[in-house]
């Protein structure tokens, strides 16, 4: 074996965020940058757990080159077995499936999720642990500490491995298995959902759908499941070929970036009955129906209320969880079902502890992510199949399912306003300024409503006792409205400020108003409290979802 020990110097910016380390491609191409971070991951894994890993990514630019480097580093670091997705492909939820099914020590996922790709775009890398979920903060802190003082890394000299052909290869003491990235995932979906009823839905001749893979990783998965297994028409799938630059698009499944899909629903006569999109690495989803956009918050609540109808959840749910900024729609469902609802910080790793302890079955975030305890990641196609199965069982349109839910539980009007690429100093000053004034805001009157809670969200993990502070500012009002503000950790340029607005309308109230108009009074309050326009340099948000 020709193993090189390469001397290096640490990079001080290699601190993983909520979903790993994300930087510009050009940063990862800096000599030793990728290698340093990968070595820090390997060094952070306990010695007894350095046996078997899975490796793959969303196919974005630099994915294939990074995989070749990591293969040679894994061999040099003594791993006995390395599973690699064919073509370097592996969605984030599929990686969690493989880790759990194959009982691996973890996995390395190459993705910057919903961020743009291409030579001038973003790249990312994250480590998932034995439970299949994102590494907890105790592990990511250890990775950062190691990366901050790293003096050398290990890599094996070897020819480039053929990752386009499934099969086994030997590299030193390491067995490399190039695997079908789709098969294990499909097998699990067949256990959770009634494929027979969904297939009958597609064969009925009165139902049609459109799914936008956004030239990202879910293309191969959607082709196998929706077309080959369930019988959907091939033409119902859009942008299914993964591309290194996502076809020049932004692989974020929301009303702005999934504009090609959204445009189909603006045609009153020819609009599909059901629409969905997924993101770069396949863990997010957007759900549409004729005359209705299903907010991720509502989607989670509707899933919780109807899970018992689906084969994989027929025995009911143990509990639910949502991220703090997510609307409180699912809270009402949990109360009705008599199960616990947990409010966590943003980041899927917080749900993992609750799932491992058997406390929750379903969970979700307002940032277009939902999932269940079948894996330890959010799962875009799982959500699409959940909705298709629900439509097949209820024999109702998406709009009817949503309206019926609101008529039972009321509606949480909800919107997120994103201000992207904001000057870091100005964004921080705005947030810190509001944080400093929190104690004086309780009881403050705005027209006919007043603030009943003003705090900076903290979370005490009920499983491991860990504590997370400063997770976002919450302002609750006397009419059950809410404003939340926080900075996102998923961008790579400037700061992304996110402001969340929520207002509750009872079940017997006005349930089909235009969302932005209904929330307009809260926008005025937010501007008064934070001077959003001057602080962000924006006359209006960059993205409204």
CATH code of the domain in which 371 resides: 3.40.120.10
- Give the active site residues: 113
Whole-angstrom CA distances from 278 to 118, 287, 380 are 18, 9, 6
In terms of domains, do 415 and 405 share one? no
Q: Which helix (H) or strand (E) holds 310?
A: none
In terms of domains, do 153 and 218 share one? no
Integer Cα distance of 448 and 177 in angstroms: 64
Integer Cα distance of 374 and 524 in angstroms: 42
In terms of domains, do 289 and 394 share one? yes
Cβ–Cβ < 8 Å for 15, 40:
no
pLDDT band at 380 (very low <50, low <70, confident <90, very high): very high
Integer Cα distance of 400 and 397 in angstroms: 5
In terms of domains, do 217 and 68 share one? no
In terms of domains, do 174 and 224 share one? no
In terms of domains, do 306 and 385 share one? yes
pLDDT band at 492 (very low <50, low <70, confident <90, very high): low
In terms of domains, do 263 and 128 share one? no
Q: State percent of the chain over pLDDT 70.
A: 99
Residue found under tokens 């974020």: 252
Whole-angstrom CA distances from 425 to 431, 433, 464 are 10, 12, 34
Integer Cα distance of 194 and 390 in angstroms: 10
The residue ranges of DSSP E strands in 10-164, in sequence order, are 21-24, 52-57, 81-89, 106-110, 122-128, 152-156
Question: Quick check: 185 pLDDT over 80?
Answer: yes
Q: Exposed, middle or buried by CB within 10 Å (0-12, 13-18, 19+), for 6?
A: middle
Q: Exposed, middle or buried by CB within 10 Å (0-12, 13-18, 19+), for 410?
A: middle
CB atoms < 10 A from the CB of 278, how many?
32
Q: What is the DSSP string of 477-541?
A: ETTS-EEEEEEESS-SSSEEEEEEEEEEE-TTS--S--HHHHTHHHHHHHHHHH-HHHHHT-SS-
Last residue of a domain, one of 153, 180, 207: 180
* pLDDT tens digits along 190-224: 999 999 999 999 999 999 999 999 999 999 999 99
Question: Quick check: 363 pLDDT over 80?
Answer: yes
Instruction: For the chain, give the mean pLDDT.
Output: 96
Please tell me the pTM assigned to this model. Answer: 0.95
In terms of domains, do 125 and 198 share one? no
* pLDDT tens digits along 80-89: 999 999 999 9
Q: What are phi and psi of 503, to 5 degrees?
A: -145, 130
In terms of domains, do 246 and 165 share one? no
Integer Cα distance of 355 and 319 in angstroms: 9
Residue found under tokens 């956009």: 293
In terms of domains, do 270 and 298 share one? yes
Last residue of a domain, one of 386, 409, 432: 409
Domain extent for 492? 411-544
Whole-angstrom CA distances from 194 to 45, 87, 210, 310, 341 are 39, 30, 20, 7, 27
pLDDT band at 49 (very low <50, low <70, confident <90, very high): confident
Integer Cα distance of 112 and 121 in angstroms: 9
Q: How much is the average pLDDT of 2-11?
A: 96
In terms of domains, do 162 and 279 share one? no
pLDDT band at 490 (very low <50, low <70, confident <90, very high): low
pLDDT band at 541 (very low <50, low <70, confident <90, very high): very high
Report pLDDT for 443: 94
The two tokens of residue 373 are 């305890």
In terms of domains, do 387 and 423 share one? no
* pLDDT tens digits along 427-485: 999 999 999 999 999 999 999 999 999 999 999 999 999 999 999 999 999 999 999 99
Report pLDDT for 491: 54
Q: What residues have CB less than 8 Å from 202, skipping those under 6 apart?
A: 209, 230, 231, 232, 233
Question: Quick check: 494 pLDDT over 90?
Answer: no
Last residue of a domain, one of 365, 385, 409: 409
CB atoms < 10 A from the CB of 204, how many?
11
How many domains in the chain? 3
* pLDDT tens digits along 99-142: 999 999 999 999 999 999 999 999 999 999 999 999 988 999 99
CB atoms < 10 A from the CB of 124, how many?
26
Q: Exposed, middle or buried by CB within 10 Å (0-12, 13-18, 19+), for 475?
A: buried
* Whole-number CA gyration radius for the chain: 23
Cβ–Cβ < 8 Å for 287, 262:
no
Question: Quick check: 489 pLDDT over 90?
Answer: no
CATH number at 474 reads 3.30.310.50
């Amino acid at each position: 074996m020709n193993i090189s020990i390469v001397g290096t110097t640490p990079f001080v910016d290699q601190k993983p965020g909520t979903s790993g380390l994300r930087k510009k491609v050009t940063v990862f191409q800096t000599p030793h940058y990728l290698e340093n971070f990968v070595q820090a991951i390997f060094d952070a894994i306990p010695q007894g757990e350095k046996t078997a890993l899975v490796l793959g990514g969303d196919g974005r630019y630099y994915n294939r080159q990074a995989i070749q480097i990591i293969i040679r580093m894994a061999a040099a670091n003594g791993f006995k077995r390395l599973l690699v997705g064919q073509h370097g492909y592996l969605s984030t939820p599929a990686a969690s499936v493989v880790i759990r099914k194959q009982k691996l020590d973890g996995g390395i996922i190459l993705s910057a999720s919903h961020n743009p790709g291409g030579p001038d775009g973003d790249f990312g890398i994250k480590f998932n642990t034995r439970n299949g979920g994102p590494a907890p903060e105790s592990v990511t802190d250890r990775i950062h500490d190691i990366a901050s003082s790293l003096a050398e890394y290990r890599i094996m000299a070897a020819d480039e491995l053929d990752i386009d052909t499934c099969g086994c290869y030997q590299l030193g003491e390491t067995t490399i298995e190039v695997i079908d990235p789709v098969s294990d995932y499909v097998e699990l979906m067949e256990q959770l959902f009634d494929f027979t009823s969904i297939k009958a839905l597609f064969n009925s001749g009165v139902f049609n759908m459109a799914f936008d893979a956004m030239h990202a990783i879910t293309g191969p998965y959607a082709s196998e499941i929706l077309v080959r297994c369930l019988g959907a028409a091939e033409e119902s799938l859009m942008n299914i070929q993964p591309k290194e630059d996502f076809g020049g698009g932004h692989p974020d499944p929301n009303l702005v970036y999934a504009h090609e899909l959204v445009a189909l629903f603006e045609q009153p006569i020819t609009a599909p009955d059901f629409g969905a999109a997924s993101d770069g690495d396949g863990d997010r989803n957007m759900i549409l129906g004729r005359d209705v956009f299903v907010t991720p918050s509502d989607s989670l609540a509707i899933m919780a209320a109807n899970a018992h109808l689906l084969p994989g959840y027929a025995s009911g749910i143990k509990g639910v969880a949502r991220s703090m900024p997510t609307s409180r729609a699912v809270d009402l469902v949990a109360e009705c079902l008599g199960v616990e609802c947990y409010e966590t910080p943003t980041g899927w790793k917080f749900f993992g502890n609750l799932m491992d302890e058997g406390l929750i079955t379903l969970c979700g975030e307002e940032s277009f992510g939902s999932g269940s305890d079948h894996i330890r990641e959010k799962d875009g196609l799982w959500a699409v199949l959940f909705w298709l199965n629900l439509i097949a069982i209820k024999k109702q349109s998406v709009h009817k399912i949503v309206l019926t839910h609101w008529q039972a539980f009321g509606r949480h009007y909800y919107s997120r306003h994103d201000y992207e690429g904001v000057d870091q100093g100005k964004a921080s000053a705005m947030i810190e300024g509001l944080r400093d004034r929190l104690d004086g805001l309780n009881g403050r009157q705005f027209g006919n409503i007043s603030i009943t809670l003003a705090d900076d969200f903290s979370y005490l993990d009920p499983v491991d006792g860990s504590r997370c502070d400063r997770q976002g500012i919450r302002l609750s009002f006397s009419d059950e409205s809410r404003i939340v503000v926080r900075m996102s950790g998923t961008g790579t340029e400037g700061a992304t400020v996110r402001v969340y607005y929520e207002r509750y309308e009872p079940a017997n109230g006005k349930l089909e108003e235009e969302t932005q108009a209904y929330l307009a009074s809260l926008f005025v309050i937010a501007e008064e409290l934070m001077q959003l326009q001057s602080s962000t340099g924006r006359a209006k948000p960059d993205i409204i979802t």
